[in-house]
A = this chain, B = another copy of it.
């Protein structure tokens, strides 16, 4: 690859479109225009729209898991490192842009298999948690709570006002601290 950043440039473009113009505007032509490529050039890198969305999801996963792993470093030696780092990780808007998540979700509605890489990733983290501390419904409940906070926010269906977000999230961390020993 002469410019190894071409893929990233395309993904950035798609992300920008989702955020500024709406998820429905992520069409091959618009992404091509926004990224400065022709439609043909775009399709050279991603051989179809599905591959493009797949790419967005994969980048999402790798970024988010990088943040979590960094978080985990701060917990070295402690118990429940994986789970606690998971709960603490609330992805920044830059990494986990609601519009991007929505785009992936919308695509997944028509192509459930699209989320497979995510499912694999989840399964891996689950195994890590089990290896670390066994299998307890409590763990999955805490995980669900963290996911719930995130998804509520992304979908704009949180019952609590945005200003209380941090407080609610902190409550989750406190609760985890208390329940996990």
Count residues of A near B (Cβ-Cβ below 8 Å).
45
Residue A145 at the chain B interface, CB threshold 8 Å: yes
Give chain B nearest CB distance to A120 CB in angstroms. Answer: 11
Name the prevailing secondary structure of the A interface residues: helix
Question: How many copies of this chain does one complex carry?
Answer: 2
Other A-B pairs beyond A103-B109, A144-B172, A151-B151, 18, CB < 8 Å? A23-B110, A24-B110, A105-B105, A105-B109, A115-B156, A119-B156, A122-B159, A126-B160, A129-B159, A138-B171, A140-B159, A140-B168, A141-B145, A144-B158, A144-B168, A145-B148, A148-B148, A148-B149
Q: Mark A34-66, 1 if CB is under 8 A from B, else 0.
A: 000000000000000000000000000000000
B-contacting residues of A (Cβ < 8 Å)?
A: 22-24, 102-103, 105-106, 108-110, 112, 115, 118-119, 122-123, 125-126, 129, 137-138, 140-141, 143-149, 151-152, 155-160, 164, 167-168, 170-172, 175
